Amino acid sequence: MSAPLRMQQRLANDELAISLALYQARTPDIPMMAAACGFDAINVDLEHTATSLETASMLCVAAIGSGLTPFVRVPSAEPHLLTRVLDTGAVGVIVPHISSAAAARAAVEMCRFPPLGQRSVGGTNPTTGYAPLAFSELTATIQDQTIVAAMIESVAGVDDIAAIAEVEGLDMLLLGPHDLTAEMGIYGAFEDRRFLEAATAVASAARAAGKIFGIAGIKDEGLITNFVNQGLRYISAGTDAGLFMEAATGRVRSLRGIAPTPSRP
């Protein structure tokens, strides 16, 4: 990459980075549209969709070309998933269901080069713009730009959040409120005291460890403002499918409200 991507610039300026989650997108014009809308990043979801690795790579490359930071949310922390998405265009990887420091360390090991991890060197790739770099410069460049995010979406993850946050090589604590509140038996009750306390614990751990605090899946701007005041700097603001449904439903309802003039006397 010849210039810093939008998300990195936002974070450097202590601003909020806004990401679009891609569930249905299959063509490279979608990241370009996201950039035109003002997003700073995309995250390609491979956990809940039928999106292939090849399509994810294409979307990531298009994002880089548009100045956006591309993340891929893998279905699990399997080594072959983590390394392949990072070698084929993802700048960041989102690892779901991290519930312990041990799980966070295992994920980091697959995403970081030695001596910090065990990632294999695959050569220059889309994240380096295919620039011909010496081995030491290549690994240092990729290591520096890679963002490893752990999704905290369980009570166990919240309970061990201080230790998770201290894992070297981990960059972001990404709170998953839907799975977390579902496990708590209060699904979607984001104003509930138990959820707010959990979010505060994650925010505090992120601040103490110098990590990025992120959240996905919350629409309420009052809550978001509260979390921003606690250090929130990355938000997955919605999905392509969700935003399409919301805008399209509103448009259809608006047009249904137009009463046709009788065409016959």
Which residue stretches of 13-117 are H helix?
Answer: 29-37, 53-65, 79-87, 101-111
The pLDDT value recorded for residue 123 is 82
Please state, as a whole number, how many other Cβ atoms lie within 10 Å of the Cβ of residue 261.
5
Q: What is the pLDDT of residues 130-152, one digit of tens each?
A: 988 898 899 999 999 999 999 99
User: Looking at 48, 80, 97, 178, which residue is catalytic?
Assistant: 48
2: confidence class by pLDDT, cuts 50, 70, 90: low
Domains along the chain with CATH numbers:
6-239 (3.20.20.60)
The pLDDT value recorded for residue 14 is 96
The pLDDT value recorded for residue 265 is 64
Which residue stretches of 112-220 are H helix?
Answer: 135-145, 155-159, 161-165, 177-184, 193-209
Q: What is the pLDDT of residues 23-70, one digit of tens each?
A: 999 999 999 999 999 999 999 999 999 999 999 999 999 999 999 999
Q: What is the pLDDT of residues 229-248, one digit of tens each?
A: 999 999 999 999 999 999 99
Residue 48 appears among annotated catalytic residues = yes
